[in-house]
Structure 1
Amino acid sequence: MSKKNTKYIFVTGGVTSSLGKGIVSASLGLLLKSRGFNVTIQKLDPYINIDPGTLNPYEHGECYVTEDGAETDLDLGHYERFLDSATSQNNNVTTGKIYQTVIEKERKGDFLGKTVQVIPHITNEIKRRIKILAKENYDIIITEIGGTVGDIESLPYIESVRQLRWELGENNSMVIHLTLLPYLAASGELKTKPSQHSVRQLMESGIQADVLVCRTEHKITKEIKAKLAQFCNVPAENVIESIDVETIYQVPLELQKQKFDEVVLKELALPMNQESDLKDWKNFLKKYKNPKKKVEIALVGKYVSLQDSYKSIAEAFIHAGASQDTEVKLRWVYSGDLTEENLAENFKGVDGMLIAPGFGDRGIEGKILAAKFARENKIPLLGICLGMQIMT
């Protein structure tokens, strides 16, 4: 497929945050890649920080570092693990980066004295950043837009998507809207009204969703799908259920059962020449769910109360364990609580230890004590970044 025929998929979220846009985007990327398409995923983050490098992990979770040294959103870790391909600084864009670029251009006089405004200057820069990945000749670019539809911060991104859809023409782009179907225990039913309002709010910005992906704790009936289709202007087969599952790595298979990838390819007028090949993925999942051995590793860090802070480390143990038919149980140990007196209690029975990264002096003494205890008691020890320095 030539560069000019690159197709674009935009993933938006509604009703509430933390619905799993990153996992849905990564799962779709995997399904499309399994059919032979060259796919990448990018994340547009609406905060004004230049990148997550200076963000407190308690605020934003892990800062994921790409091969080219870019400090990015933790969702890029999911993209890489699902697609098994590297991302770069071009795969994560923040409002801070957008405004920084536009202001630098204004200071240099690039706008020839024009009044610099959100439209067209900010939206043009957003569109440039979205399309920059097409130079690498991808067949499909999936763009996840952070935040929730209706947020003030997200408005320039939504407007940029509206403009891009018009510029790209028919069948060259589509919008997937991820929404929530809350379950009311008192009445024993799933409610569609929040999703209807969310889609309507998107339409008020000039964008019609092509596919609805509905996060839910209970199965969606045909009647609910029909209701959502009618009031959200999408075909019933384009209403996809995303139900809670045991592990995020099961999500692609659940979406495939509903022909999610076929729905997307149809919307983009792309051929289904190649059958989906998920043999390796299913094999990994089988080994992960049916381990023959079990080990427990103590993860010693200063952010253990928010486990997203060490997301990639935890996921690396899952993948490494599955490859060895082994369940890896993590024991989260807060280094700030460690003393000479409680070391033996905290590390009793562990098969290994990892000293996690995390800058600043808080918790350092506890990490040093943990490393010393591991060395003296011959517990296998691994250190990452500052953890490695402490080991030394």
Structure 2
Amino acid sequence: MALTINPRLRGLAPSGIRRFSALAAKTPGCVSLTLGEPGEGTPPAIRDRVGEDLAAGLTHYPPNNGFSWLREAIASSEAARGVSPEVATPDNVIATVGATEALFVALSTILEPGDEVIVPTPAFSLYGSIASLLGARVVELDTEPAGYQVDSAALGRAVTPRTKAVVLCSPNNPTGCVLDAASLSAVSDTARDHDLFVVCDDVYRLLSYDGEAPSFAPAHPELADRTLVVGSFSKPWAMTGWRMGWLLGPSWIMGQAAKVHQFAVSSIPAFVQHAGVEALGTDVGQMRESYRRRRDRVVVALGQMGLPTPRPRGAFYAFPDVREFGLTSEEFCERAIREAGVALVPGAFFGGEGHVRLSYACDDHTLDEGLARLECFVNELREGEASHARA
């Protein structure tokens, strides 16, 4: 038998976000506004717990799904925000290697080859990559015509006999938009009428600027039997390098999901788990306020540049429209790095061609310098177009 590789891998491209981040790193002096990497450090009290646990010898195998006290803290946190009490229990929690593994476990548990999963776009590309690896297919639901909300009629038209699930992310990556109650109800009605799973990527829910953002699981407990919630420590507590997240769902799903987790990674490290409990008890208000201030500066700056941008209401991304320049989003970003020394992410990677993603998770100095370079770049593009027109 010939030596072969899983053919599904050949159709998968490496992360475009990471590609442009790497290109920025290789460009001397380039300012990178690519990654959703908080400029702040992990709060000291959280970091200190790791040292304490290492000193205490907490270095052996933990339970596969996480220590009971971590799962209890996660379940309590989810219950406090209104997730169904029948679901928000320690037995229904899996502590995962970041939200990435939680999403992989969730989709691996519910998707079969040939299934379809609806993803409102623009959206994080990971959903499509995982689905493709599993032999499923993503159906993109363009939300731009509805102001980045979910239009009930459009969602209904996206459903086919092969549809298995809908994936939601609110606040959204890459737009920063928050799904409103009508959007969540549209998803609820469709999931109920067509027997669909709902996977909620809630990693940015604590980074909502106008009070707690509406979330699907608390808003629609009647669908608790088919809703999977993904959470993460990475963004709210600046713990991206810790690789800690969780998956929560009804017991009939989680018993099977635990098998995927067990055979993929066994468990997350023992000595970081008390730090997770510490994080859940740490207020993120100051962090959120820092992002809100940066959001305000970014919105003003992009407005002065004449780049139409949906106003972010959460997370730490802006998604300006660059279609006026007649470039693809990749061309725009490649030239921005080469000609202006500022790195952004093409909107095409999120199903939003004609836009670019700007991350303002970075420190203030980096953000200010990046915005200044972006302004010079777009001004030069416009001057070039004007000179061409005069010629």
Calculate the TM-score normalised by the size of structure 2: 0.31
Structure whose alpha-carbon radius of gyration is higher: 1
Higher strand share: 1
Calculate the TM-score normalised by the size of structure 1: 0.31
